[in-house]
Chains A and B, each alone.
Chain A
């Protein structure tokens, strides 16, 4: 009787970006959903064709501005594969350390804004206070809070500094996680909004190429960190949950912060005990790369990010292709939303941790 179309976005405070959802609603129930993307398209892939390899490096931080180090890493290591460049061990450990700190910052922001969408205001302030510690540290070592541009071809720009500040900082954050859990894990309102809503089965998630914490909340072990050479010297567990609902995704992200902190402690111990070069000293002016194709992947807070570069012998890439995790999370949205209430839309959409700049590139 009361079937109608409901337009959500593109300017909606809870979408954290510009996503438009065209919902078919039957009373309060959703019977259809069509995501419309492309409002934040900046032409990141086409832009690379008109820039040199070095000029393109600062812009890749903008693909996903909450985890700039991961994008830089994917691009830089793809170029290093094309150049067949060996990077010093110390540089790769610094990269791991910074990426894991970035993962914590990204998950903390997700937690705060997700709860803001659900109507809980105080955790937002707490998570932002803790995230500020990490961002201040990033500002000290790289010069900016979110657009770092710290990785260079063959290592990192400067040697790491203020190493003794990291362990106390991470310890405070992990302690504060207990506070959040007191507020949330047993909270009946939070549980009734997240438990058994938006259930994503393992088969469905794999069929739709979902990666990252969203997949690991659906009873899967797939984490590209465990297969990469970069993390082979570190001991950590893969955070995982079985249920596949919004609450499981929340639990997996909190566990990931704890596991990241373990990697950070090991990396800090290694860096404090050793010294060495942090880059190969390559001056990449007029960098020309022979014909070839290389891709590098990295496990970001939002799934698998792959950067594929095709070079044609000039100083500009012939083609750069990005695969980002959030794009696939938007793809699964119609499957998850149909049959749920309008009030569940933001609970489900928020739990997927979609980053719109990353979807549109």
Chain B
């Protein structure tokens, strides 16, 4: 008898705990409408600024996602294959001049394969290097 009463008490206590949560503030983020606030160190899609073409990022990359082409010590093409990239952040951490930065883009999904082959050197940049 005492055992049954104890069980009922425990069940009611549990029910009370659950009901209490009904009146608390919601913690869910309504994702596509509300955007998450990303921290400063978030590792998302890459940006490149002032690359010297030393090739260290290619060397430390665990999945060979980076291709660098140089013509006479000048970077003409810098490609990151996001299909292979695992966003480990090694390229950013070991870059000697802080050229490659990982940004806030966490939605690389696309319907075209070639969109994931990111070309990071633009013509404007190579002109600025001169």
Contacts and interface: CB of A to CB of B under 8 A. Distances in A.
Contacts of B94: 283, 285
Contacts of B88: 58, 147, 149
Interface string A175-202: 0000100111011100000000000000
A142 B41 contact: yes
A143 B103 CA distance: 10
Contact of A129 (B11, B27, B40): B27
A336 to B, nearest CB: 27
B17 A144 contact: no
Interface residues of A, number: 31
Interface string B51-79: 00000100111100000000000000000
A59 B62 contact: yes
Contact of B62 (A58, A142, A144, A152): A58
Contacts of A132: 27
A56 B11 CA distance: 50
Interface in A71-114: none
A284 to B, nearest CB: 9
Given A51-B62, A186-B6, A143 B14 contact: no
A141 B7 CA distance: 45
A314 interface: no
B111 to A, nearest CB: 25
Contacts of B13: 182-183, 186
A149 B90 CA distance: 8
B89 A140 contact: no
A265 to B, nearest CB: 24
Contacts of A144: 42-43, 87, 89
Nearest to A150: B89
Interface in A104-144: 122, 126, 129, 132, 139-144
A157 interface: yes
Contacts of A55: 60-62, 90
A54 interface: yes
A141 B18 CA distance: 33
Contacts of B14: 182-184, 187
Contact of B18 (A54, A59, A122, A129): A122
A179 B17 contact: yes
Contacts of B56: 285
Interface in B95-109: 102
B35 interface: no
Nearest to A152: B93
A158 B92 CA distance: 13
A201 to B, nearest CB: 28
Contacts of B32: none
Contact of A143 (B59, B60, B62, B89): B89
Closest 6 CB pairs of A and B: A58-B88, A186-B10, A188-B7, A143-B43, A143-B41, A55-B62
Interface of B: 6-7, 9-11, 13-14, 17-18, 21, 27, 39-43, 56, 59-62, 86-90, 93-94, 102
7 contacts: A140-B41, A149-B90, A158-B41, A182-B17, A183-B13, A186-B6, A186-B10
